[in-house]
Amino acid sequence: MSRVANVVVMGIDETVQKFFGPISDWIGGKVFYAFDINGAPVPLIVLWLIIAAIFFTFWLGFPQFNLKHSINLVRGRYSKPEDAGEVSHFQALATAVSGTVGLGNIAGVAVAISLGGPGATFWMIVAGFFGMAAKMAECTLGVMYRQKHADGSVSGGPMYYLRDGVRQVTGNKALGQFLAAFFAVCCIGGAIGAGNMFQANQATAQIVAVTGGDDSFFADLNWLIGLVFAIAVGVVIIGGIKSIARVTEKLVPLMAGIYLVACLIVILGSVSEVPGAIGDIISGAFSAEGIVGGFVGVLIVGFQRAAFSNEAGIGSASIAHSAVKTEEPATEGFVALLEPLIDTIIICTMTALTIVITGAWDDPDAGDLDGVQLTSRAFESVIPWFPNVLAVAVVLFAFSTMISWSYYGMKATGYLFGDSATAEIVFKVIFCIFTVIGASLSLEPVILFSDAAIFMMSIPNVIGLYFLAKTLRKQVKGHRARLASGEFARVK
């Protein structure tokens, strides 16, 4: 490439950075308004989410301990024969999981550990556990208040339970409409930030890293990788080429399997160090020496990255779960609670163990590594060629998350603009433009904006969950009673 072209190209990345950086700082400052405890900033929004998750854990009677019922539902033990051909519990869960399992699990964990040390993992797991109940709450309500259209299609999610449910319980139509519209606007932001820019950013980082880092042909061409992503996404969501999305949906579980096997190879390869790593995780959780903000700092980092990864309380998954075929909305709640279990408690913990066991987080230059690069380094120390496989996995995870989130954003746009086809197309084009922007920026402004946008969704969503808490508990209690009486019985 000529020097002139080089200058022009570097100019694109820098211009994007210059323009977008202050915007993300401003939004991040507002959403992450924090007060200090012992010098550690505690963002209110993180407390907001964890308190909701703990509340619903108690309110719904610790549904986390009903895993057997959840698993039987997913296995189709309760699915009626005449429902064959409809969306099964497994399919609804798998679709939602492929939207959630993304770079939050690979890069997010690395960010947590580099900021909060191994102890952050402990708090991620704790947050994942409570998050299961928040996820159950929003997905049960998603099914309860979903809309069936004339053409047989189904729309659900917080927009509908906020609008219709909140109006029902409060009698205040305007409040419901306001919360629903607030959620829809935040959802569009979340889709563009966490569901798009963050994914494009980290996938690009990994591509550059495996092709030679600073010496890579792509080193100053982040925008070009972003453009390729944007075209691929555009082909699917604007061009309606379903085959690409379908292939991705089938490859993602495979890559997730390969990823977990690689984690196991690293973990089992140094099995003698596992007790030590677990010790580091637990002791680090309570005595955080040398970490900004000490104990509270670690706790907050863990909670924040867990919420970002499993999206419990955010409301997004409720959109995907609503398509399920069931007469009992609570069944999908029981299925949905497996999502934080898979996402945070299993996959994030595996990533964390890999990073802690290999000691990659403790390298002198670890602080300079961007999220996914730290995870990549951890694998590389045991399986030298794995970063290439990781790059493929990261690209696929990023792509499937982008497809899912473009769908969430599109449903939110459709809700705001009365399913206007023009509005949906405008959203899709903007979505693709932000893919390029996300790839061009450095990690900090992207993660700040992504966090801010996705966490903002939880404000209207959690308010709605509290309003609907009684309705929700009635539904779940009713389901438990029908289950106990045999009215809702296994068919196989």
Partner 1 sequence: MSEVLVGVDGSEHSRRAVEFAVARTLERSGSMVLVHVIQWSPFSFNTPTENEHRHAQKAAEITAANEQVVDPLADLVREAGVPLEIVVIHGDPVDMIIKIAEERHSDHIILGRTGDSRVRQAIFGSTPAHLMQESPVPVTVVP
Residue 236 has a CB neighbour count (10 Å cut-off) of 21
Shortest reach from residue 85's CB to partner 1, in Å: 3
CA atoms within 13 A on the CB side of 57: 16
CA atoms within 13 A on the CB side of 279: 5
Query: Residue 88 or residue 349: which is nearer to partner 1 going by CB?
Result: 88
- Can you give the binding site for partner 1, defined by CB under 8 A? 76, 79, 84-92, 94-95, 98-99, 151-155, 242, 245-246, 249-250, 252-253, 319-320, 323-325, 403-404, 407-408
Q: Which of 440, 357, 452, 352 is nearest to 33 (CA)?
A: 452
DSSP output for 89-155: HHHHHHHHHHHHSSHIIIIIHHHHHHHH-THHHHHHHHHHHHHHHHHHHHHHHHHHT-EE-TTS-EE
Query: Residue 34 or residue 235: which is nearer to partner 1 going by CB?
Result: 235
Grouping H, G, I as helix, E, B as strand and the rest as coil, residue 37 is strand
Shortest reach from residue 381's CB to partner 1, in Å: 32
Shortest reach from residue 423's CB to partner 1, in Å: 17
Query: Residue 152 or residue 275: which is nearer to partner 1 going by CB?
Result: 152
**Which H or E run includes 40?**
strand 40-43
Query: Residue 21 or residue 253: which is nearer to partner 1 going by CB?
Result: 253
Shortest reach from residue 87's CB to partner 1, in Å: 5
Query: Residue 7 or residue 254: which is nearer to partner 1 going by CB?
Result: 254
Shortest reach from residue 152's CB to partner 1, in Å: 3
Shortest reach from residue 363's CB to partner 1, in Å: 37
Query: Residue 7 or residue 241: which is nearer to partner 1 going by CB?
Result: 241
Task: Report the C-alpha gap between 400 and 258 in whole angstroms.
Answer: 16
**Counting beta carbons within 10 angstroms of the beta carbon of residue 437, is it exposed (0 to 12), middle (13 to 18) or buried (19 or more)?**
buried
Shortest reach from residue 154's CB to partner 1, in Å: 6
Question: Residue 154: beta bridge partners?
Answer: 148
How does strand 147-148 pair with strand 154-155?
antiparallel
Structure tokens at 375: 């995870």
Query: Residue 245 or residue 454: which is nearer to partner 1 going by CB?
Result: 245
Contacts of 452 (CB under 8 A, 6+ apart): 24, 27, 28, 30, 31, 32, 193
Shortest reach from residue 327's CB to partner 1, in Å: 14
Shortest reach from residue 84's CB to partner 1, in Å: 4
Query: Residue 246 or residue 470: which is nearer to partner 1 going by CB?
Result: 246
Query: Residue 123 or residue 408: which is nearer to partner 1 going by CB?
Result: 408
* Helix locations, 211-293, DSSP H: 222-237, 242-269, 274-286
Structure tokens at 326: 């069931």
